[in-house]
Amino acid sequence: MTKVPAVHRIALLFNGNKIFDRDIIAGIGEYLTSTRASWDLYLEEDFRCRLQGIERWQGHGIIADFDDPATCEALSRVHLPVVAVGGSYADEEDYPKDIPYVATDNFKLVKLAYDHLIEAGLQNFACFSLPKADVNRWAQEREKAFETLMQRDGLQGHVYRGVGTNAPSWDTTVEQQIAWVRSLPKPIGIIAVTDARARQLLQACLCAGIAVPEQVALIGIDNDPLARILTRVPLSSVIQGTVEMGRTAAHLLHQMLHGARFSDTRILVPPAGINVLASSRHEARNHPHVMQAMHFIRQYACQGIKTEQVADYVGVSRSSLDWYFRRELGRSVHDEILRFKLDAAKRMLQHANSNIADIAVSCGFTSVQYMHAVFKRELGCTPREYEEQQLASATAQPAIQIPKKKAALASSPTPALQLTEPTNGN
Amino acid sequence: MACLFSQMTHFTISSTPAEHGITLYTLRNANDMRVTISDRGATLISWWAPDRYGREADILLGYADHDGYLTNAPFFGGIIGRWGNRIANGRFTLDGIDYQIDCNEGPHHLHGGEGGFHLMPWTVQTDPEGLRLTLASPDGAAGFPGNVLASVLYRLDDDGRLSIDYTATTDAPTPLNLTSHGYFNLNGGAGDICDHILSIDADQYLQVDPQLIPAKVAQVAGSAFDFRQPAPIGPRLAWPDDQLRLAGGFDHCYCLRQRQAAPDQSGRNLQALREVATVYDPGSGRQLTVSTTENGLQFYSGNFLDGVQGRATEAYAVHDGFCLEAQAYPDQVNGPEREAVILRPGQVYRQTTAYRLTVRG
């Protein structure tokens, strides 16, 4: 006879509209799947946190996001086992007292972003933060981490908090952001305290014609897919160890339900990785014409632009722009446009059941045949074969392997292209 | 310095004489990745590899000079034999005969005893495939029976894969369990290994007693030992766990998932070569992938490194390096599957373990 394990009633107090909280909940779920722990989970139907009456709740334990001081306060009156999760603090005094705490290591998140910008060759640095508020103390902790690193390295960092966004003041907000970026020395590496914040700044840069990453190399925190989808230039980001935080919190509560007490246990979880995409792939390209052209190509390559349009945007002749490109990059403007289109098509082919014709259109190829020819010449295979290779290598990877395809592909140097677009206008 | 004696498609080997009659051999692949191996102990000395930005660093721990390798208490980089890991009380019974072998860790045998393979001068043999080192271990060495002839072949390919092929024969039955004891730090020593993210393809591991002798098989599920999904080492070390407390960190053997068991003539229940573990360092982007034909993988989080003066200016601290040692189970010679770790005359011991170094992101 197998013994039926006792069912525990566990409340998860999180704000599921944040990617951070969602991934922690996912980690809790992963832990439960891997063990025989049997928990009934109490979550609001919209996955948001509501504290009213929590002290009267008849359950066995709680895991809660303590970034909001209201949660901290409400749970101080609760006598159930509670595990807190949230951001790390530089100052010991800022942690909630007598409660096990699982933290994302704010200092290491910022340090990973900073080290990346240094390696990209930048020498000026700034931090785009948030207006100070009780509910975003993590943003201030990230600012502090940034300032500590600046001090350590004897650098003058620039911190900008801006204002909170709302519809009526939206235009002013963007103007202020643009004014701030314009006031900074260039080129500069900017760490935004979240991807949401990074996305706003990226958009402001694009509005103002400030080239990313040539003039502003930008990196956020969270690796939020939504922020990535909503930007024309793919956004680099630091990946938090949120799933592991969820597993850790669930493990601690699991032990506490069986009598263990961990009031002074504090576990700091380092970042899980970094997703380096175009927004921070700064290379020391000095000629302003090339920088401006790259900025335009990056945004519009997939809309079928030609060298003329790029030259018009930069304000020089087609032949002189080509001359600058060949000198700085060793390839023509046309090659560079094609390289972006090919990369975009390769990314799209990683998803199963993709329609080749749709991909050709959305990546700016004039025809399926032309995309086919580009693939054959550059990669030695057809788009379909490329897709099959990618899927095969994805399924051949054992379950333990960390997904890496996107980063690996994005970072693989593309060979110089020597294709010329067919002139028959097909 | 370099006396080039072999030039192949994939890599070159050069040799450099050093003090104590030691010679260093360097394997170099087409991407200029370099692995240096000493003929003393067939020891991995250095592995120079680029990070995601192309900066090179040595991702192995070791000593600054060869004096350190003459005793090598932490077993830096050595080939371990005849027996990797522990044998309880240094005792076993083979074909009705009781043996008492060297006890060099308290009352127990560890890593081949005082005269382990990692301290021996190995002989380099010309081999078209890579660097082959052989060792004749005489009857009675460390108390083990039989004259054993062991051989390892190191190869470095252009994908960054360092393969170690082991073979051994004997003229009398003897327990045999070989492993490689490289200490890795994927950030090249810029910090400890606590932020490294580890995954191990194992559902079970061996819990140990207070003297680190395996006591029972336990499920990893729900514990700090569950690395079936990638998890950072540092936070796991902070999980409250009796086994971690006993060993001062991770020093435990994982029972790797078995795939396509291919029992060879020695009955060792060898596995097909398969990926069993990865370690990723988000800071440098370096990733180490371990593949092996073995059933066990000892994960050691460098718990006893504190104060060891290595090649860095400052002495090593606890958790400055980690080991992933592919092997049979510790003390298996005294367990139910003992016959699988006995090498008999006419049989050939075989193992392949590969460490592949790449960069991500």
Where is the domain boundary, A229, A254, A280?
A280
End-to-end CA distance of chain A: 72
Do A327 and A366 share a domain, yes or no? yes
Alpha-carbon gap: B200 to the closest alpha carbon of chain A (Å)? 7
3-state helix, strand, coil in chain A (%, to 5): 50, 15, 40
The CA R_g of chain B, rounded to the nearest whole Å, is 19
Q: Which of residues 215-254 of A touch B (CB under 8 A)?
A: 239, 241, 243-244, 247-248, 251-252, 254
Residue A91 — very low, low, confident or very high, per pLDDT cuts 50/70/90?
very high
Q: Looking at chain B from residue 208 to 237, which residues have their Cβ under 8 Å from any Cβ of chain A?
A: 221-224, 226-232, 234-235
Instruction: Identify which of A130, A197, A135 has the alpha carbon closest to the alpha carbon of residue A164.
Output: A130
Residue contact B201–A404, C-beta within 8 A = no
B321 pLDDT higher than 70:
yes
- Measured between beta carbons, the chain A residues lying within 8 angstroms of B275 are 398, 400-401
pLDDT on residue A119: 84
Q: What is the pLDDT of residues B284-316, one digit of tens each?
A: 999 999 999 999 999 999 999 999 999 988 999
pLDDT given for residue A401 in this prediction: 36
CA distance A87 to B286: 27
Q: Average pLDDT in the A86-106 region?
A: 96
Same domain, A260 and A298: no
pLDDT value for A425: 34
Return the minimum-mean-pLDDT range out of A41-50, A125-134, A335-344, A396-405: A396-405
What pLDDT does B263 receive?
A: 58
Predicted confidence at residue A249, as pLDDT, reads 98
pLDDT of residue A131: 95
Q: Which residues of A touch B226 (CB under 8 A)?
A: 34
- Considering chain A, what percentage of its residues have pLDDT values greater than 70? 90
Q: Which residue has the higher pLDDT, A287 or A77?
A: A77
Compute the average pLDDT of residues B188-202: 96
Give A347's pLDDT tier (boundaries 50, 70, 90). confident
For tokens 């960190």, name the residue: B249
Q: Which of A247, A262, A407 sits opposite B361 (nearest CB)?
A: A407
Q: Do B231 and A244 touch (CB under 8 A)?
A: yes
Distance from CA of A314 to the nearest CA of B (A): 31
DSSP string, A186-236: SSEEEEESSHHHHHHHHHHHHHTT--TTTTEEEEEES--HHHHHT-SSPPE
User: How many Å separate Cα B86 from the centre of its chain?
Assistant: 14
Please say whether the beta carbons of B162 and B356 come within 8 A: yes
Cβ separation of B240 and A30 shorter than 8 Å? no
Which residues in chain A touch residue B288, judged by CB atoms under 8 angstroms apart? none
Q: Which residues pair with B175 in a beta bridge?
A: B342
B17 touches chain A (CB under 8 A): no
Least CB–CB distance from B221: residue in A35, A265, A398: A35
φ, ψ of residue B29 to 5 degrees: the values are -100, 180
Q: Average model confidence (pLDDT) for chain A?
A: 86
- How many Å lie between the alpha carbon of A37 and the closest alpha carbon of chain B? 9
For residues A92 and A104, what is the distance between their CA atoms, to the nearest angstrom? 15
**Across residues A130-159, what is the average pLDDT?**
95
CB A149 within 8 A of CB A165: no
Q: Name the residue in chain B with its Cα closest to that of A407.
A: B361
Best to test chain A binding among B31, B226, B229, B358 (most A CBs inside 10 Å): B229
Split at pLDDT 50, 70, 90, the class of B115 is confident
Q: Does residue A423 carry a pLDDT above 60?
A: no
Query: Can you give the pLDDT at residue A329?
Result: 83
ipTM: 0.90
CB within 8 Å: A34 and B199: no
- Looking at A251, A280, A309, the residue that finishes a domain is A280
Q: Please give the radius of gyration of chain A, using alpha carbons only, rounded to the nearest integer.
A: 25
E strand intervals along A200-356: 216-221, 236-239, 266-269, 273-275
- Kindly report the nearest CA distance between residue A122 and chain B, in angstroms: 13
Q: Do A408 and B234 touch (CB under 8 A)?
A: no
Q: For residue A100, which residues of chain B lie inside 8 Å, CB to CB? A: none
Higher pLDDT, A98 or B361: A98
Mean pLDDT computed over A397-405: 38
Task: Give the 3-state secondary structure of residue B32.
Answer: coil
pLDDT at A415 over 80: no
Chain A residues touching residue B238 (CB < 8 angstroms): 265, 267-268
Q: What is the pLDDT of residue B266?
A: 57
Min distance B55 CA to chain A CA atoms (Å): 10
pLDDT average, residue stretch A90-96: 95
Task: Say whether both A11 and A120 belong to one domain.
Answer: no
The domain made up of B3-359 is a member of CATH 2.30.30.60: no
Q: Does residue A372 register a pLDDT over 70? A: yes
Tokens of A10: 């566990």
Query: Is A401 within the bounds of a domain?
Result: no
B235-291 per-position pLDDT tens digit: 999 999 999 999 999 999 999 998 766 555 556 767 889 999 999 999 999 999 999
Tell me the C-alpha distance between B86 and B15, whole Å.
Answer: 34
SS percent in chain B: helix, strand, coil, step 5: 10, 40, 50
Instruction: Tell me the backbone φ, ψ of residue B251, rounded to 5 degrees.
Output: -155, 60
Summarize pLDDT for A45-66 with one digit per residue, the tens. 776 777 888 888 899 999 999 9
A27 touches chain B (CB under 8 A): no
Query: For residue B68, what are the contacts with CB-CB under 8 A and spacing of at least 6?
Result: B62, B76, B309, B310
A36 vs B222: CB contact, 8 Å cut-off?
yes
| A396 contact B CB<8A | no
pLDDT at A50: 78
Q: Do B53 and A408 touch (CB under 8 A)?
A: no
What pLDDT is stored for residue B262 in this prediction?
59
Given the residues B108, B111, B181, B252, the one annotated as active site = B181
DSSP code, position A238:
E
User: Per the CB < 8 Å rule, is B280 touching A273?
Assistant: yes
Encoded tokens for B258 = 């078995």
Higher pLDDT, B21 or A82: A82
Contacts of B52 in chain A (CB under 8 A): 119, 276, 411
pLDDT at A400: 39
Same domain, A191 and A250: no
Comparing CB atoms, the residue among B223, B229, B360 nearest residue A407 is B360
Q: State the Cα–Cα distance between residues B341 and B351, nearest whole angstrom.
A: 12
Asked, as a colleague might, if the bond just before A81 is cis with ω within 30 of 0, I would say no
Interatomic CA distance for residues B16 and B66, integer angstroms: 13
Residues 6+ positions from A267 with CB-CB distance below 8 Å: A100, A101, A102, A103, A248, A252, B235, B238, B239
Average pLDDT of the residues in B86-92: 96
Selected for mutation to probe chain A from B55, B56, B239, B243 (highest A CB count within 10 Å) is B239
Q: Are residues A110 and A161 in the same domain?
A: yes
- For chain A, how many structural domains are there in total? 3
State mean pLDDT over B46-74: 92
What is the average per-residue pLDDT within B206-224? 95
Question: Is there a domain that residue A310 lies in?
Answer: yes
* A130 in the same domain as A49: no
CA–CA distance, B262 with B272 (Å, rounded to integer): 7
The secondary element (H helix, E strand) that includes residue A335 is: helix A333-348
Q: What is the CATH number of the domain that holds A264?
A: 3.40.50.2300
Residue bearing tokens 């009659």: B21
Contact A251 B197 (CB under 8 A): no
Same domain, A118 and A213: yes
pLDDT on residue A190: 98
The residue from A263, A280, A297 where one domain ends is A280
CB contact under 8 A, B239 and A112: no
- B361: nearest CB among A115, A275, A401: A275
pLDDT at B165: 97
Would you state the pLDDT for residue A355? Answer: 87
* Ranges A114-128, A407-421, B149-163: which has the least confidence: A407-421
Mean pLDDT value of segment A340-367: 86
pLDDT at B142: 95
CA–CA separation, A188 and A209 (whole Å) = 15
Q: How many CB pairs under 8 A join A and B?
A: 103
Tens of pLDDT, residues A178-228? 999 999 999 999 999 999 999 999 999 999 999 999 899 999 999 999 988
Q: What is the pLDDT of residue A170?
A: 86
- The set of long-range contacts for B111-115, using a CB threshold of 8 Å and a minimum separation of 24, is B111/B75, B111/B80, B111/B83, B111/B84, B111/B85, B111/B181, B112/B80, B112/B81, B112/B82, B112/B83, B112/B84, B112/B142, B113/B142, B113/B143, B114/B142, B115/B141, B115/B142
B54 and chain A in contact, CB less than 8 A:
no
Mind listing the pLDDT tens digit for each residue in A16-40?
A: 888 999 999 999 999 999 998 899 9
* B245 close contact with A: CB closer than 8 A: no
- Note which residues in 246-285 of chain B have CB less than 8 A from chain A: 274-275, 277-278, 280, 282-283, 285
Domain around A370: 288-394+406-411
CB of B173 within 8 A of CB of B344? yes
On whether both A258 and A292 belong to a single domain, the answer is no
> How wide is the angle at C-alpha A373 spanned by C-alphas A371 and A375, nearest 5°?
70
**DSSP labels, A124-164:** -EEEE-----GGGHHHHHHHHHHHHHHHHTT---EEE----
Is B325 tagged catalytic?
A: yes
What pLDDT was estimated at residue A4? 63
B194 Cα to chain A: minimum distance (Å): 9
Distance from CA of B133 to the nearest CA of A (A): 33
Residues A360 and A350 in one domain: yes
Residue B176 pLDDT grade (very low, low, confident, very high; cuts 50, 70, 90): very high
| Contact map slice: A 58-117 vs B, CB within 8 A | 108, 112, 115
- Mean pLDDT calculated for residue range A285-310: 83
Judged by DSSP in three states, B219 sits in strand
B34 by DSSP, 3-state: which?
Answer: strand
Nearest CB to A112 within list B55, B230, B283: B283
Neighbouring residues of B109: CB distance < 8 A, sequence distance ≥ 6:
B83, B86, B87, B89, B90, B101, B102, B103, B142
Find the CATH number of the domain harbouring A377. 1.10.10.60
Contact between chains at A402 and B195 (C-beta distance less than 8 A)? no
